[in-house]
Amino acid sequence: MPWSKIKIEDRPLDSGEGRLLNYPEAMNEAFCQILGNDPRVIVMGQGVDDFKGIFGATKDLHLKFGHQRAFDTPLSENGLTGVAVGMAITGLRPIYCHNRPDFLLLTLDQIVNHAAKWQLMFGGKSTGVPLVIWSCVGRGWGSACQHSQALHNAFLHYPGLKIVVPSSPYDSKGLLISAVKDNNPVLFFEHRFNFKYPGHVPQEMYAIPFGKGATCRQGTDLTIVAVSHIVNDLKKIVGDYSQASLELIDLRTIKPIDKELIFKSVSKTGRLLVVDSAWETQGLGNYVISLVAMEGIPLKSKPRILANPDVYTPSGYTLEQEFYLDDAKILSAISACLDK
C-alpha cells in the first residue's frame, strides 16, 4: 500500500470504541504494519531482536521479517546513527531504536549536523532524510540521572527536526506511522510509564498528522497543556476536579506544535498551566507561554509552569518521589492558576 493511501486520523477515539490493546501490543502492531507495508523500512537498535523485544514493542519482528530488516546493534550510538542517516539518504526508511534517550546525547553530531541539515546543504534538491529515532524515557527502579532523562525539549532548538511525544496507544501507533511516512528526521519520544495504560486502537493502518493536538476535555476556566505520560495523570485529575471547569490539551507533537489549538483554548479560558515531565528551564512551558505572550492573548492570571526541578534525577526511592510530579503538586498548581 502506498503511504499516500493510509487513512488520516486527527481525533482521539471515544472510550469504548474499537479494540482494547495494551501499549506494547499497539506499538508492535504499528511496527509490523509499517514493515509489511514498505520493504524499505528497517528497524534497528539495542534489543530489537531480544525475545521480548524493546519493552515488547519490537517483539518477534526479526522472526516475521528477517534479521536483515529487524536487528540488534552494538553500543555505538554515534556511529550507528551515522549508518542510519546513510541508509535514509540512499533510499531506505530506517527506524533506529534506543532503550533510553539519554544516549541520544552521543548522537548529536549525526542528528544535528547531518540529518537535520542535509536538504538545506543541497538547496532542497537532494532526497530527504526519512529517519525515525525512537527512544523510551525511563523512570523508577533506580534509573537515576543517566537513564531517566526526558530530553524532548533539548531538540526544540534545532531546525529540520520533528519531535513526537505521545501519551496513548492510539496516538503512538498513528504517530509512528506518520513518522515513517515523513521525509524528514523525526525524534519519537516514548515514556516507560505510558506502557501502563491500555487504549482503544483501530486494527487498520492510520496516520495522525503532526502539529495536530487533541483536546482531551473541554473546559472554560483554565487551559492545561501537557505531553507524554503526564497527560494520563491529568485526565483523571481534570475529570474529578469539581471546583472549576478545566480544559486539557495533549499536544502529541511539540515540533511542529499546534499553536492554533493553544491560542483558541487560552482565549476562551484566560488562564494557562503547562505541565511537563522534563526540566522547567527553557523547556516546553517556556515555549508555550512565549507563544501565547507573542500572540497578545489577555490573561486573567499569570501563566504557570509545572515541571521537574532543575536538578538531576536521584536514584533513591524517597528522593525520586520528591523529584517527580504527583497529584498533590498538580492540584496545587491548578489552585494557584485559579487564585484559589
DSSP tag of 123:
T
- The grid coordinates of residue 168 equal 496513548
DSSP tag of 151:
-
pLDDT digits (tens, 9 = 90+) for 14-45: 555 678 999 999 999 999 999 999 999 999 99
User: 207: how many CB neighbours lie within 10 A of its CB?
Assistant: 21
**Total residue count of the chain as it appears in this document:** 340
| Domain shared by 258 and 113, yes or no | no
| Domain shared by 293 and 155, yes or no | no
| Domain shared by 221 and 147, yes or no | no
- DSSP character string of 187-225: EEEEEGGGGG--EEE-SS-EEPPTT--EEEE--SSEEEE
| Domain shared by 169 and 23, yes or no | yes
From 155, 181, 207, give the residue that closes a domain. 207
From 154, 179, 207, give the residue that closes a domain. 207
| Domain shared by 33 and 181, yes or no | yes
Helix (H) or strand (E) holding 311: none
d(CA 112, CA 159) in angstroms, rounded, equals 8
* Dihedral pair phi/psi, residue 142, rounded to 5°: 70, 30
Residue 13 has pLDDT above 60, yes or no: no
| Domain shared by 228 and 198, yes or no | no
Residue 317 has pLDDT above 60, yes or no: yes
Exposed e or buried b per residue across 91-129, where buried means at least 16 C-beta atoms within 10 angstroms of its C-beta: ebbbbbbbbbbbbbebbeebbbebbbbbbeeeeeeeebb
The CATH number linked to 256 is: 3.40.50.920
Asked whether the whole model's pTM tops 0.75, one would answer yes
| Domain shared by 259 and 113, yes or no | no
Number of domain units in the chain: 2
**What is the pLDDT at residue 86?**
96
Residue with cell 501502563: 196
Decide: 177 and 212 in contact? Cβ < 8 Å.
Answer: no
pLDDT digits (tens, 9 = 90+) for 100-113: 878 888 899 999 99
Among the listed residues 62, 98, 114, 147, the single catalytic one is 147
| Domain shared by 194 and 60, yes or no | yes
Among the listed residues 9, 29, 77, 320, the single catalytic one is 77
pLDDT digits (tens, 9 = 90+) for 156-183: 999 999 999 999 999 999 999 999 999 9
| Domain shared by 158 and 17, yes or no | yes
Task: Name the residue range of residue 90's domain.
Answer: 3-207
From 156, 179, 207, give the residue that closes a domain. 207
The CATH number linked to 33 is: 3.40.50.970
pLDDT digits (tens, 9 = 90+) for 178-216: 999 999 999 999 988 888 889 999 999 999 999 999 999
Distances in Å between the alpha carbon of 101 and those of 25, 44, 148, 272, 336? 21, 15, 8, 29, 33
| Domain shared by 13 and 153, yes or no | yes
Q: Establish whether 147 is a catalytic residue.
A: yes
Decide: 46 and 97 in contact? Cβ < 8 Å.
Answer: yes
| Domain shared by 203 and 218, yes or no | no
User: 58: how many CB neighbours lie within 10 A of its CB?
Assistant: 27
| Domain shared by 15 and 113, yes or no | yes
